[in-house]
Each structure stands twice: as structure tokens, then as C-alpha cells.
Structure 1
Amino acid sequence: MNQQEGLKHASVIDMHAHIVLAETMGAAGDYGPFLGKYPDNTPYFQIGKTYRLNGVKYEGSPFMDVDCRLEKMAESGIDYQVLSPNPLTYFHFIPAQEAIRFCRIHNDAVARLVGNNSQKLGAFAALPMQDPKAASEELKRAVNELNLMGAGFGTDMPLRLHDPAMDIVYETAAELGVPLYIHPSPAGIDGPEGDPVLRHFELDIVAGFTCQETLAIGSLVYGGVLERHENLKICISHGGGAVAMTRYRMAQAARKRPWSPASLRETGNFEAMLKRLWVDTHIGHPKGIELLSETFGADHLVYGTNFAGWDMPDNLDSHALPGFLADNARKLLCRT
């Protein structure tokens, strides 16, 4: 059974599930990534010389052990997962050649993993987004040669998401008919440091991700990306950040602010553009599907868990999900 057959028969499809691959350790040279342990046996995950994620167990967990992942998926009622790159290893700010090498190693490794478990797993490719031409070429290779389902990358990179230089990546994804899954990463891992306020209490993750996703959608819509690429499929993590709560202000800006393009000034045009985007439902709100449906449309929602992550619900039970979420995922992933 190939990936598409597994996808076809799945009742629950998880679109928000990250992977950490042993083959990629040290694949970005001095930037890592590196696994290690402190003298008290506490694990850490290191990027470069300064950033360490402490206390998260990758080895022997669903992040790295495929048998453990499949077992936990079965316990949670998840039939199929689409694996995406670990946000700590987007490496969008390191030298391009280092990033290109890392992405090729990552994509080859994840293709082997899902190829051996195709009835349960698919995957998105990692891309070297600091070099859009190289990212476009790697996306073609990943889809056409490795049978990956699209690509996953970060909200923050040297170029803004609406920069015309990014169009080559969007054009490639649209031509291939595959989605792009956009997810934040903590600022300052391998690039410019973020707001110092966010360094306290892990607010860069707890609250900063929501801000990044909201800004990403503003960039994509206000910057005309969706208008320039009518067939482009983009999915944003965590319900699209705070857009469902701020859409009124965002729409008012589209209609009234002097920088807004003419195409968004008519009432309803901004809201229509939001319904071109896809979002996953991993927001932890009991009325999340209802809330997100009003903003993005029920037909553009896909199920997401951040599987095995710190914010995955303690008692994840995916059996009672509405069936349309799996149908939506099939539509998003189907090459058009």
C-alpha cells in the first residue's frame, strides 16, 4: 500500500506532527543539530553553539522512534500522519550551502522512513528558504523523486513571505499541486534575536508563535501572494495564530489604510482571501472548529495535534472528530 492508499482509507489524519531524524544529526555542520545529555542525564537538543532545548526527550520517543510513533498513533485513534520538519531545524538563516545539504539529507531520510511505513505516514520536505531558487529545486526533487507530499518551512526567514523573490517557490508548489505548511520557530536560534521580552517564560513559543502566524497571514494576504498564485495551497499551523480574533481589525486595515492594495479595499475581499488559506485545528479551544470555520471556512480546516509535543492534550482521543476534517486533508494533499 502506498502513501496515497493509506491516506485514502484514513478516518483521522493528523497534519501537525514533527519528526526528528537521526540521520540529520550534524548535517548542518557547526550548526548541528546535536543531541546530548547533562551529567544528571537530562537530555538537550542543541543548535549551533548557543541554543539548547532542555528536558525534551527525542531519542526513544515518537519524535525519533517510528514504532513508538505508530503505537501512540493507534492509542490516540490517529490513522495517518503527515510528518513535517522540526521547527528548531528550519535553518533559514545559516549559509545557503549548509542549509541545502541539511535539507537534502533530511528529505532523503524522511522519504525512506515514510516509504517503509506508507500505510500510516507521509511527509513534507524541508527547504533552504534563504535561497528561493534552491528551495524550488529541492521541492521539485522532493515531490517528483522522493514522493513527498509538499514542504514545511518557517514563518521567519531573510526574505518576507510576500517578497517577489519568493514567487519561484510558490510557483513551483502551485505547478506541482502540493501544499506548503508554514509553522513558526523560536526567534534567534540561527538568525537575528527576537524581542527580548519573549525570552522570559518561553514566551517566544507560548505567545510568539501566535504572533508569527498572524503576521504570516497578513504578509501573504496584504502582500498579494494569494492573488499572484491562484492555485497555491498554503496551510498555517495553530489555527492561523490570532487571525480568527483579529480579522475585523485586519479587514478594516485592508479597506482603509493607505498601503492596502486596491484589490482588498472592497468590502468582503479580505475575508474572501482568508478563505483561500488552510489552517490546522491545534488551538486547544473546545469550540475551535466553530471559531476557525467562521474565518477560514469549514472546508479549509485540517486536524492537527503537535503529536508528542509539550502542548498536545494529555488525553488525546481523536476518535470523535467530524469526518470532514479527514476529507479536507485529502483535498489539501491531493495533487491538482
Structure 2
Amino acid sequence: MIVDAHAHLLPKDYPADAPEGFPHMEPVEGSADRELVFGKMRFRAKEVFFEAERRIEAQDASGVDAEVLSPMPPLLRYDLPAGDGMTLARHVNEFTAELTAHDPARLIGIGLVPMQDPDAATAELAAVKDAGLVGVEIASNILGSSIGEEKFRPFFQEVERLGLSVFVHAMPAPMDRLPMSAMGTYVVGIEGTLAAASMILGGTAAACPDLRISFSHAAGGLALMLPRANYFWGGSWNEEPRDLERAVMPDDGPSPIEYARRFYYDSMVFDRRAVRFLIDLLGADRLLVGSDFPAMLREDPAARTLRSMDLPAEQWEDISWRNAFRWLGRDSDASTTEPAGLPAEATNR
């Protein structure tokens, strides 16, 4: 079976009396699609973004048994006034709860909080949980601030206390060293790296050892940087025993790689060679299936690259669904080969 841990939704509508600058949906003539208009952005959204029946049909068509649904990243608009950000988050969360109630076993919802106001975002987490959502999606930077900065630590501590999960979606940040054409490609990889590294270097990973956090697209280039970080930490190559005479930044805590192995990463890295490196360095128990559907088309069938790798059965089971359940805090389900609450045919895929 397959759980797609990186899939998106969009609300079908927004309040008519919403604050100025709020997103809205416009009808598309002759189609059930709608066009999201949010400032200068215009995005045509197919029914599958907002109709539960279409989601289930799409899952069946591609061989997916469940999706973890997070809001489309353009809704992570931290430049809105904090109050408007809260209004938007609550509207999106209400829609997400309604959509996933159609089939909670196959549609698993993640909400939003207004990270531009860390205190308000922290206080809102209880409402997110009460709505039946399993966690929150945040951007890889908050108005240019790293998520690992100390001012966000109480937020992550409350996430940890409530037993929620976090999905960090890489979001482009203004950058003048690369052309605009790189915003959705190279810059997204850079952003994922910076977000995950900041959680290690800023002390949040140490302060929140039980935090269940996942990074989109395997946190960009993080994995390739970790061996160098480990060398500076421990003075040795290949994770061999520490050589403190060579270490530049020795400390008594876990190594950078050990911290990174506490995180989860979706395996949407577009190449089986990259997936093999991630398995070798971080472990098959850290990777999730991810597709970015329906913003991007899934492979056909879903997880085609992973299926083609002839992974040992235990690794395939971990990556295809068990790790997603662990990330979501459903360890009891992940300890079996037949998770409760999913269609019987799912276990035969």
C-alpha cells in the first residue's frame, strides 16, 4: 500500500466579506475548475483540489491508498497582517476538516497557522488538533527568518506537547544571486537545506527530541552537506569514531547526521540514484512517498521510481506507508503489516 505524504488541497471558496487582500476563487467558464486569485498570483485549480470524491477517484487511478493533505503553499502568506492570517488559517482549516471527514482513513488533513505571529500560531495549535487535523504545514522561512530561530521554539515545543506533526514546505525567498527562473527549482532546494539545517544549528532539534517533522523534497541539498558538517563536528570521515584533534566545532551532543536522522523527508527527488543515497545516509526509516499532487502530476503508477528499485520488502513497507504513520504519530498502526481503517484491497498492492 502507499500513503502519499505530500499532496495538496485548496478551499473551493472564500468568505465574501473576507479582508482586502484575501484569496478568492473565480469560476472558469465551461469547466468545473476554479481559478485561485491571490494578489498577483492566478492559479487554475481542478476539481480534485477541493472535491473529496475526485480525490478518492484520483487515488484509485494512481494506486494510492491514502493522502496527507496540506494546503497549497501559496496560502502560506505570512506577509498578511496577523489578524488576517489567522482568519485565513481558520477558514482553510475548517475546509480541510470538512474535506477529510468524507473519508478520514484515506484523506488525512494538515492545517495552517499564522507563523507571522508566533504566539498566536502557538495558541492556535490546540484548535488545529480539536478540528481533527493531524498537524500543521509551515514554510521553510518566515518572512526571511529561519524556522530554527529561538523565537519559534515555543511553537515547536507546543507542537511536540500536543503530539502534532509538522510539514515544512520549501518556499522561494527573494534572492539576487540566481535568476527568477531558479525560484521553483534551485532556490527551493536551497530553502529546504536552510530550514532543516537551522533546526539543527539553532538548537530546536535538541530542545524537541520527540518532534515529528518532515521536509519536502528531502530538504533539498541537506544530505550532501551533512558529511562535511559531521567532519567539522567530529573530525572524522565516514562517521568513523571522533577525532577531537581534528574537530573544528566539538561538542558532546548528537552529531549533525544523528540529528538529521530524527527528521522525515519525502522522497520526491526525481531520480532513483538520489533516493539510494538518502537511504544509505539517512535510512529507509526516514523517507516518505511524496508527489506534490495535484500541483504536479504523480508518477504513473504512484511511486513508480521507488517501485523500480527492487527495495527489500522491509524498506518498501517503511517508505511506502509505515514511515508516514510514524510521522503522524500512528506507531501502533505502523507496527503491523495491515493498518486498521484502510480498504482491505490496500494491503494487496
TM-score, length basis structure 1: 0.82
Distance 1:259 1:19, change over 3 A: farther
Q: Comparing 150-159 with 318-327, which one deviates more in the overlay?
A: 318-327
Distance 1:134 1:263, change over 3 A: farther
Structure 1 residue 292 and structure 2 residue 303: aligned? Answer: no
Among 4, 24, 28, the alignment partner of 1:34 is 24
Unaligned runs of 5+ in 2: 236-245, 308-315, 332-349
CA distance in 2, matches of 1:279, 1:27: 39
Structure 1 residue 84 and structure 2 residue 63: aligned? Answer: no
Aligned residue for 1:29, secondary structure, equals: coil
Aligned residue for 1:31, secondary structure, equals: coil
CA distance in 1, matches of 2:190, 2:255: 23
Aligned CA RMSD, in angstroms, stands at: 2.9
Distance 1:177 1:38, change over 3 A: closer
Which structure would you say has the larger Rg?
2
Offset at residue 36 of structure 1 (A): 4.5
Distance 1:261 1:223, change over 3 A: farther
Match of residue 200 from structure 2:
221
Match of residue 333 from structure 1:
328
Offset at residue 324 of structure 1 (A): 1.5
Match of residue 45 from structure 2:
58
CA distance in 2, matches of 1:170, 1:277: 13
CA distance in 2, matches of 1:95, 1:45: 20
Render the CA deviation track for 1:7-42: whole Å, top value 9, x for unaligned: xxxx21110001111234678622222344899x99
CA distance in 2, matches of 1:260, 1:108: 46
Distance 1:287 1:23, change over 3 A: same
CA distance in 2, matches of 1:124, 1:254: 35
Distance 1:258 1:24, change over 3 A: farther
Alpha-carbon contact 1:25-1:32 (below 8 Å) kept: no
CA distance in 2, matches of 1:155, 1:26: 30
Match of residue 195 from structure 1:
175
CA distance in 1, matches of 2:67, 2:15: 23
Among 112, 134, 138, the alignment partner of 2:124 is 138
Match of residue 262 from structure 1:
251
Alpha-carbon contact 1:104-1:138 (below 8 Å) kept: no
Structure 1 residue 183 and structure 2 residue 166: aligned? Answer: no
Overall identity of the aligned pairs, in %: 23
Alpha-carbon contact 1:281-1:289 (below 8 Å) kept: yes
Match of residue 16 from structure 1:
6
Which one-letter code corresponds to 1:207 in the other structure?
Y
CA distance in 1, matches of 2:217, 2:272: 14
Unaligned runs of 5+ in 1: 1-10, 188-193
CA distance in 2, matches of 1:219, 1:167: 11
Aligned residue for 2:45, secondary structure, equals: coil
CA distance in 1, matches of 2:151, 2:112: 19
Alpha-carbon contact 2:214-2:266 (below 8 Å) kept: yes
Render the CA deviation track for 1:71-125: whole Å, top value 9, x for unaligned: 1111110000010111101111221101011111111111111012213101111
Aligned residue for 1:15, secondary structure, equals: strand
Among 120, 137, 147, the alignment partner of 1:152 is 137
Structure 1 residue 233 and structure 2 residue 212: aligned? Answer: yes
Structure 1 residue 242 and structure 2 residue 242: aligned? Answer: no
Match of residue 46 from structure 1:
37
Output aligned runs, 1:114-129, within 5 Å: 114-129=100-115
Structure 1 residue 109 and structure 2 residue 89: aligned? Answer: no
Aligned residue for 1:57, secondary structure, equals: strand
Structure 1 residue 323 and structure 2 residue 317: aligned? Answer: yes
CA distance in 2, matches of 1:294, 1:28: 49
